[in-house]
Structure 1
Amino acid sequence: MAVESLSRCLCAVLVLFWSASWPLAHSASAPENEVTLWPAAWLSEGKLSTVTLPKGRTQRTYFTLRKAAAMSVTVSPCDSPIEWSLAARTLKDKPLKSHEWSSKKSMPEMWWRGPGTEEKIHTFSGGTSDTYSGRASPHASIYILRMRSKQQSSSATVYLHQGSGPSGAFPEIPADPRVHTLGVGMTSVTLSWTPSASLAGPSQDKYDYCVLVNSQRNLPSLCAAQESAREERDKNREKTAKKRRVTAWPILKEWWWEQWEADLEEKSPSPYGDLRCVCQGTENVCTVSELLPDTQYYFDVFARDRVNGTSATYEGTAARTHGEAQPSVTSLREGELRSVTFHDTGPRSEQFFSFRPRGSQQSGLLTVQSCGGGSKFKLTVSSKGRVLTTRAVGKDLVQVWLQGSPVYLIHLEREGTAMSERSTASLLGGLKASVKLQTSSAYHRKGVPSLPSTLQVKSFNRLRGCNSVTLAWMGTEERSLYCVYRRKQRGRRDEDTLNASCLGPESRSDTERVLCKYFQELNPRRAVTTAAIGSLEPGTTYVFDVYLMRRWGIPVKYASKIVKTRKEC
């Protein structure tokens, strides 16, 4: 047993000795600065290659030439600017035979082991496509293409062409690469650009133009458009995944998800996501429609080779669509009584006003009244784009309480008129209709003022004399001022003004006012006040008008009352 144990230990020592000494013997011919490059990225000639560029990391690709006198290398960044350089490494001696190296060694690594020199041929930094064209190295060389993106992780496409002259893989861009704006509308923009010479050649069928529009920025390439669309789709998937996790109905969850996905595919059929793209046709004039008014848009045009998968970029442009026609808005002053006249031969007409209440409470009262003629109006009050109320305006007084907004937009719209009025309008060259409008700030009020239950004025026959009459009318529970006006009846002219509710006290002469009195009754049923009007002429017909004079709003006119004094008393 002791002999067997001793032999096992001796074998283990010999194995350890041989394992430690073999690498030293094998690596004696290898340089100390050996860099393992396996596996290496090789460029294929005549094929568009895409290289992923992680942020801050240098990516290397390699290629060799087959006794070509000239070559060209085209590097096109996808979205962000990159730095790239091209160098040629030439060996002093030919590479050793492959059997002298490990089977895992790559061709670039074999070039690195031998003595040689490296010459930098070309460098470029930027976000546009760049091409190096030149003579090939006369010596046996391997070419190294280094690319790096500093700002963000991105990608680039590389195209290698052997031989002199253009590769023909990329569409040609004309001397004037700009995209011009021919016309800008409210929802459309018309563009034009100089045609590409590639689309006029014998193989023009494989080319077309791509027109992209978005509201963010101009795009340097079609690849950038695809990257933006991919990011947008990823964001949408994250949002829908969150919604899917919080779905309250697990039985319907799968059905809802499938329905949503189907709707998304119908709404976004373009492979560029939110980017609107049209890739078809060879016309150099394009009208982009279905845009939003008053919005900045960016337009890019690309000439595309559908066979090779390459494209060339025109110099993009930007344009802002026209905004919608804004109506003129008249500012209403505090307490201003305004008469609004509509003169329109058409069935509709409209006007806009704005009102800004005083005080921190931002409360006010809007009063509107139609001034006869049989016209009907629609009143719409809005604030910050939100409609607060919509009211019909006729012969009755309309009161709207305003509260809680710093400014109000008042839209007064005239609606259809009667056939008799339209026939009259055709003879007069247009139909006139007017509305009284008044706005007042109401600091201490909490709502609209109360109105009388009826606007009829009553006279008492038993109290009618040769020189005086007695009138009665309904008041309100609020303390208000009532004024009585009189005039002698002037025959048929008074028939047209008896129901003219818009004839306010401002249109009356001071000589017609006979009295003004304050009245208040907390019980609306008993809110009746009377007035004895004297100094009248016997046997004379008078027209009496009563006005409710208010601190806020339009004065309220009662129905005119015709009374004839007695001839003999």
Structure 2
Amino acid sequence: MALSWCLCLAMALFSGPGTIYALAPENEVTLHPTTWLSENRVTPVHLPKGHTRRLYFTLKKKADLLSVTVSPCAVPIEWSLAVRTLKDKPPKKAHWSSKKSMPEVWWRGSGREVRIYTYTGNAVDTYTGPANAPASIYILRLKSNEQDTQVSAYLHEGPGPSGAFPELPSDPRVHTLGVGMTSVTLNWAPSSSIAVKDGHRPHREYCVLVNHKHNYRNLCAAHEGIRKEIQSMQKRQRRDKQSKEIVWATSKDWWWRQPNALKDHESSTTDKFEDTGCVCRDIESVCTVSDLLPNTQYYFDVFIVDRVNGTSVAYTGTFARTHEEARSAITSLREGQVKWVTLSWEASSLQGDQFLFKPRGWQQNGLLTLHTCNGTSKVKVSVSSKGQTLTSQEVGHQLAQIWLHGAPSYLIQLQALIPGSSSTIPKGDSKKSKFCLKMQASSAYHRRAMPVFPTTLQIKSFNKLRTCNSITLAWMGTEERSLYCIYRRQIPLDSKHTSTDRCVDPESRPADERVFCKYFQELDPRRAVTTAVVGQLEPGMLYVFDVYLMRRWGLPIKYHSKTVRTRSEC
């Protein structure tokens, strides 16, 4: 048998061109596996990457119109519709009742193929057009160039809509009615495809999907996104079995509820999707999505789902960012923290700023230090505990210290006072209506007595001891042993600004401006005077000198700046 087959093949190859033509006519092509597209039924098609899938169909003799709907999934595809019409009538021997032999009839017969429609993208698209001659076969070609994907195709014959797909309104957009800190309210134009007839529940409904990534063009892409998210969660669960809280936070990125959706994962993932009561809303076209995270961007999609036909259409989605979490009116003041507070004389800010301080240790004592940075600014400081006011006083340009004791926590309220005797709020430049205040609270200071201030913060220089390269300074100290640091900076001779901002900390000044630091203590306050000789200066130059009283607790005390010019000739 095998030998006779080989002899016949050899005779066909060497018998000449005429025999080859008889075996394989020029209009004969290798046929692909024939897949027929049925009418009024959703046909799922798997598209391998880079391969073209073909679906064939013919129309009834009385059909004058046709429509073909193709619904891609998560990636863009290319699809086209072509028609091949026979010039001559098919031979009578053709078995018209057998659809398996019909493609061979069209390819063996004389005819021409015309491409009538082409589309590239990832949105649901429909071609509608007149029917060709009865002796025609239609070819639907589908191709995915990015990755393997799924596609659904639907054929409808005759005029009017098919009824299998829901219809979108003239305005197919999702609108945002309101945005809150943890909720967003959406609405959309109702679809004529959703209506209650004879009191029966419709088989079509609106379904809302919320996620953190992007909007989806169709329901299949949304399913694919959820499937990948579930797989990602399962991988994380396998890597770390103790990460249940992380997985729960990730699963909250998705929430919806659709019947018969994700059947393969229904038992394991149903409880992981949050039920907000605002998904698949039947005929309601208003939805409030709640339980969202503050200050987070979300994407919202609305689908019309046909549960009977298994079809759906998507509105044009929207996105919104929830509002930031409301900040507490009371700010926590940490131990030893230097807090810069900006106060305003504006009417909206006259109610004051509030801070909460909790001392460390069982003694429940602390020291509150305040210092305004503007010479004419005043602030009212009120300290209370458990609703009872402990102290209330005004703080001006002098550094103020308030002793805190006898309470586990202290509520500190700062209220800007309008400068001058007038009760009106200053107008004009907004910057002039604001001033800065430095504040620090420390529970390390445990003495009952308040820290001692110098009797004056003036710095004195001695003209007789002034030379071309040095000057001598003197200032008042205290009976407590404290550290004093001297700073200098050279300024132009014609400079009008010779003082240093009293709110500038020593740590914020350049290191080359510091001259030296010294300890000093004198038990007699009347004799608590210390001096310092500052050398290595340039002749005839103008210098600004600053002295800081550095303490273990509270803010450093800055003396008033002193401007001195060295001698030009010595």
Gaps of 5+ in 1: 1-10, 245-260, 342-348, 353-376, 380-389, 400-412, 426-430, 441-447, 456-498, 521-529, 536-548, 557-569
Which one of 200, 207, 211 corresponds to residue 208 of structure 2? 211
Q: Which residue matches 2:479? A: 516
Q: Which amino acid aligns with 1:224?
A: A
| Residues 164/335 of structure 1: CA separation in 2 closer, same or farther (3 Å cut) | closer
- Report whether the alignment pairs 1:188 with 2:151: no
Q: 1:87 aligns with which of 70, 78, 82?
A: 82
Q: How many residues align?
A: 391
8 Å Cα contact 1:75-1:156 kept in structure 2: yes
Q: Mind listing any 5+ residue stretches in structure 2 that lack a counterpart? A: 242-264, 344-352, 370-381, 393-408, 414-437, 459-475, 484-520, 527-548, 557-570
CA contact (8 A) 1:212 1:276 kept: no
Q: Deviations over 1:208-245 (max 9, x none)?
A: 1011111100100111111111222333344445569x
Change (3 A) 1:136 1:392: farther
Using the TM superposition, give the Cα deviation of residue 154 of structure 1 relative to its aligned residue in structure 2, in angstroms.
2.6
Give 1:25-424 correspondences, 5 Å limit: 28-32=22-26, 34-67=28-61, 68-96=63-91, 106-200=101-195, 202=197, 205-240=202-237, 265=269, 267-269=271-273, 278-326=279-327, 350-351=354-355, 377-378=357-358, 394-396=364-366, 417=386, 421=388
Distance 1:197 1:326 in 2: 45
From the superposition, tell whether residues 394 and 187 of structure 1 become closer, same or farther in structure 2 (CA, over 3 Å).
same
Of 7, 29, 46, the match for 1:17: 7
d(CA) in 1 for partners of 2:285 and 2:341? 56
The amino acid of 1:48's aligned partner reads V
Deviation at 1:434, TM superposition (A): 5.4
Secondary structure of residue in 1 paired with 2:225: helix
Q: Match of 1:28, SS?
A: helix
* 8 Å contact from structure 1 (residues 40, 106) kept in 2: no
Please tell me whether the aligned partners of residues 480 and 523 of structure 2 are also in contact (alpha carbons under 8 angstroms).
no
Please list the CA deviations of residues 404-428 of structure 1 after superposition, one character each: whole Å capped at 9, or x if unmatched. xxxxxxxxx999528xx47999xxx
User: 1:350-408: per-residue Cα shift (whole Å, max 9, x none)?
Assistant: 528xxxxxxxxxxxxxxxxxxxxxxxx426xxxxxxxxxx7778325699xxxxxxxxx
Aligned 8 A contact 2:85 2:113 in 1? yes
Q: Secondary structure at the match of 1:158?
A: strand
**Residue type at the aligned position of 1:127:** N
SS of the aligned residue for 1:89 comes to strand
In structure 2, C-alpha distance between the alignment counterparts of 1:66 and 1:534, rounded to whole Å: 116
TM (normalized to structure 1)?
0.56
Shift of 1:27: 7.3
Label 1:162 to 1:313 Cα distance change in 2 as closer, same or farther (>3 A).
same
How far apart are the structure 1 equivalents of 2:391 and 2:440? 29
Change (3 A) 1:234 1:439: same
Structure 1 contact 36–109 (Cα < 8 Å) conserved: no
Residue 73 of structure 2 aligns with an amino acid whose one-letter code is: C
Change (3 A) 1:172 1:204: farther
Q: Which digits, 9 at most, give the CA deviation of each residue in 1:470-514, with x for residues without a partner?
A: xxxxxxxxxxxxxxxxxxxxxxxxxxxxx5x4x443486689x89
Moved more, 163-172 or 228-237: 228-237
Alpha-carbon displacement from aligned partner over 1:443-484 (angstroms, at most 9, x marks no partner)? xxxxx99x8xx95xxxxxxxxxxxxxxxxxxxxxxxxxxxxx
2:383–2:391: 8 Å Cα contact kept in structure 1?
Answer: no
- Contact 2:354–2:411 (Cα < 8 Å) also in 1: no
2-side partners of 1:86 and 1:340: how far apart? 70
Inter-CA distance 394–555: structure 2 relative to 1 (3 Å threshold): farther
> Per-residue deviation at 1:35?
3.1
Q: How far does residue 551 in structure 1 lie from its aligned partner after superposition?
A: 3.9
In the TM superposition, what are the counterparts of 1:441-460 in structure 2 within 5 Å? none
> Could you tell me which residue of structure 1 aligns to residue 554 of structure 2?
554
Partner of 1:428: none
What whole-Å deviation, never above 9, does each CA across 1:35-78 have from its counterpart, x for those lacking one? 33242111110001122223333221111112112211111222
The answer to whether the 8 A contact 2:57-2:139 is kept is yes
Q: Structure 2 vs 1, CA of residues 307 and 351 (structure 1 numbering), >3 Å: closer, same or farther?
A: same
The percentage of counterpart residues that share the same residue type is 45
Using the TM superposition, give the Cα deviation of residue 553 of structure 1 relative to its aligned residue in structure 2, in angstroms.
2.7
Q: Indicate conservation of the 8 Å contact 1:337/1:554, yes or no.
A: no
Contact 2:385 2:411 in 1 (8 A): no
Shift of 1:555: 8.4
- Verify the 8 A CA contact 1:54 1:152 in the aligned structure 2: yes
Structure of larger gyration radius? 1
Contact 2:70/2:124 (<8 A) preserved: yes
Instruction: Decide whether aligned partners of structure 1 residues 37 and 340 sit closer, same or farther in structure 2, where only a CA change above 3 A counts.
Output: closer
CA deviation after TM superposition for structure 1 residue 153, in Å: 3.1
RMSD: 5.2
Letter in 1 for 2:305: R
Is the 1:78–1:224 Cα contact (8 Å) retained in structure 2? yes
Tell me which amino acid in the other structure corresponds to 1:294.
N
Q: Normalized against structure 2, the TM-score is what?
A: 0.56
